[in-house]
Structure 1
Amino acid sequence: MFWSQVPDVTARRVLSFIMCLIYSFYLALRFNKGQLLVMFYHLAILILVSSLLAILFMPAYGIAQGVHEGSWRGVYFHKNGLGRISSICCVSTYFYLRSIRTRNWLPYVVLLGMVLLVVQSDSATSLVILFILYCLYRLLRWTTAKFNQKRLAITILSFAVIVVLLPIGFYYVELLFSAIGRDTSFTGRIPLWLLAFEYISKAPLLGYGYSAFWVPNVLENSLWLRTEWNPQQAHNGFIDVMLQLGLVGLFLFLGILHKAWKLNYRSIRQDPTEYNYWGIILVGFTILFSLTETFLLKHNNIYWVIFLAISIDNGLAKIRPALYKSAS
């Protein structure tokens, strides 16, 4: 706040960020991971029903017009918003199903419905990240299971396949991107990132202040004039952290991410329940989506709140019984 180019904006949003942090502590203290998972399953039902109603009965709103014409956006302003929330609800519903192992048809319908929303939103990022998260889940299952000769042979074979496929993927990268209807500039993101790094180089250590870079009529730069659109974020969480807090803030935040991953990985090693796997997959979700979108250190953002709540839950695991005892 003290070095912000817009101190009043930073002060207001720091206060909002602190309120989000307090709310995350409340969620972590009031609910365990199993309860939070059930809440996300109910959220998935709400999003599925409301979005389908908007698409069916208010298509002018529920279906995108103009540039992204035909893509579903449900009750959200942008198709990527629907794709992003549907992907995290899809993951949560999957783990909810695995945790309860029910024959009830409703969770299966909800899971299929969330997959449908992701596909119809035409959010290639959400689809790719869903696939990566599933692979990450299977890998984590693999690493936490007992090792034997069969697993060793499959591991070696898998690495051999990856070594062969990676060069092929790089060689045909343009063909792969065109197959999913995208270009190698990540829909204009790479040129934006290159411009952002120019401004990072002008304030590399501390940045421009929390939430102080993307403020209209304040920036003494021509970034918006040098792009064909008016971006409100860098579309990369790590770049936005550097724009706001510089390299100092980035290294501190990377330490937070490392600690969150370490705590969640320790939890699945000690107690390999579906709830704990859901927690570490949410950390992976946060990291992966931050490569193309910004919600790291964001005020009033559900993704940042749930990341904090899950991380705090693991940090309080040892002292929670004592806290409950003292509260009672």
Structure 2
Amino acid sequence: MQAQRITLNGNTLLSAKQIDLAENCFAAFCLLFFAGAFGFSSDLSEASVIPESIITLLRYGTYASTLLLLLLRPVETIKTARSNKWALGLIAIVCISFLWSPDPSMTIDAVWKEFIPMFLLSLYFASRFTLEQQFKIVLWVLVIVFLESVALAVAMPGVGLHTAGPFIGSWKGVFAQKNQFGAHSTMTMIALFMLANYAENKQRWALLLFGGCFAALLVSSSVTALALSVLGLLLTVFYRRFAWLGKRSILLGSLFVMAAISFSYVLFSNWVEILDYFDKDPTLSTRTLIWHLVINSKIPGSPYLGYGRGVFWNSPTLTSGFETIAYHIPPHAHNGFLDLILDVGLIGFVFFCVTWFVAYTRAARLAYDRKAAAYLWPLVFLSMLILFNTFESYLARLTTLYWILFITLAFSLSPKVFASKD
């Protein structure tokens, strides 16, 4: 929806262009907040470098401002919310999960402080901006957080680097852990690659930052992020190159699927031998042990509805057993899908799967119909979302930029919402 000018007694106080600029800046600021640009802390410290009182003020300030902007456009807000019943159902299940939670007050606190603000921002982002505008804002947010992380690593090593533990010397930037920095650098690198090669006005300067992101991945020592960055770039080129039209595209697509299946079979059937050859831990830093315990012992305790938002990993009773099998109590399952099931059960997970699949199908049609980078972005992001959450937890756990963008795209790609802005 295009912004309208604000007048008083016939005098223009703010033009449509000024309102657009203000809302673009506000949206970018909110995304920066949820991406962690203001809540960074020293290594092994729970206290943020910025005082907690300021962080709280920013949280509730963005919360209230987003709600106000949604109320100022009630028609667009309601139309956007109603455009995707599966996404709305997923949001509803998480919000009411306190009803079956073993600790309702903890779930209500997590929903109120973390989940609802993310949902409101997603709803505002989807109802207010076109896909082109969204891609532009998200790109700048990714770049700003990346540059901030690099600046912290160089100027404030005690904050931007791991200074103790097994990852000492690895870059982490504004994030709590190197893998999070690696995932962010990967998404930034892919977005810059798209801007440099597939934008209507190709931005070749983006290749310089692209190289910086790749270098940052190397110093972060996140092997997973480095591998996913290569895979993400290959997927981007593949999606962009073939429009799935004609015999040639169908043939190449079939060959790609066959090659992927064959590679996966070889990888999983020789998992331990391959990791032993490269002198790597076959348990993937105890991930496989954690997954085994979660799947076989924890999920069966409440399989259909889960334990409620944000409860499982904060409950000593529920996390008992990990210190014996996985040698420690992890902060999360290192798998976004398992964490989602622990929160809202298999029912909530089904809602997520349908929401993702519908959004992915619509994104694929859009990417092959229009060639600009902004229309390729949803397809690439939704693909990377699945890959990232295989080994880490970047879905609805705590506050995360990935969940905001996922729900935003789920609504933005709905035919009614997209047509109203097209």
Shorter-chain TM-score bucket reads 0.7 to 0.9
| Residue in 2 that maps onto 1:304 | 403
SS for the counterpart of 1:68 is coil
Structure 1 stretch 75-84 or stretch 61-70: which is displaced more? 61-70
Which runs of no fewer than 5 residues in structure 2 stay unpaired?
1-97
| Residue in 1 that maps onto 2:177 | 78
| Residue in 2 that maps onto 1:237 | 336
Ranked by relative contact order (alpha carbons within 8 Å, sequence separation 6 or more), the top structure is 1
| Residue in 1 that maps onto 2:131 | 33
Counterpart code for 2:162: A
2:326 counterpart (227, 239, 242): 227
1:275 is the counterpart of 2:374: yes
2:209 counterpart (105, 110, 113): 110
2:151 counterpart (50, 53, 58): 53
**Cα distance change on mapping 1:178 and 1:94 into 2, 3 Å:** farther
Shift of 1:137: 2.7
Aligned 1:80-229 pairs, distance under 5 A: 80-100=179-199, 106-141=205-240, 143-148=242-247, 168-170=266-268, 173-174=271-272, 176-177=274-275, 182-197=280-295, 198-217=297-316, 219=318, 221-229=320-328
Determine the C-alpha separation between the residues in 1 that align with 2:257 and 2:128.
Answer: 43
CA deviations over 1:274-320 (Å, ceiling 9, x no partner): 212111111111111111122323352111001111221111x5345
TM-score computed with the length of structure 2 as normaliser? 0.68
Counterpart code for 1:27: F
Determine the C-alpha separation between the residues in 1 that align with 2:336 and 2:129.
Answer: 28
Counterpart code for 2:339: D
| Residue in 1 that maps onto 2:93 | none
SS for the counterpart of 2:322 is coil
Which runs of no fewer than 5 residues in structure 1 stay unpaired?
none
| Residue in 1 that maps onto 2:9 | none
CA RMSD of aligned residues (A): 2.8
Shift of 1:224: 4.0
1:6 is the counterpart of 2:103: yes
CA deviations over 1:112-134 (Å, ceiling 9, x no partner): 11111122211122122222223
- Residues paired across the two proteins, number: 322
* Kept after mapping to 2: 8 A contact 1:33/1:313: yes
Matched residues, percent identical? Answer: 23
Determine the C-alpha separation between the residues in 1 that align with 2:131 and 2:336.
Answer: 25
* Kept after mapping to 2: 8 A contact 1:86/1:114: yes
Shift of 1:43: 2.5
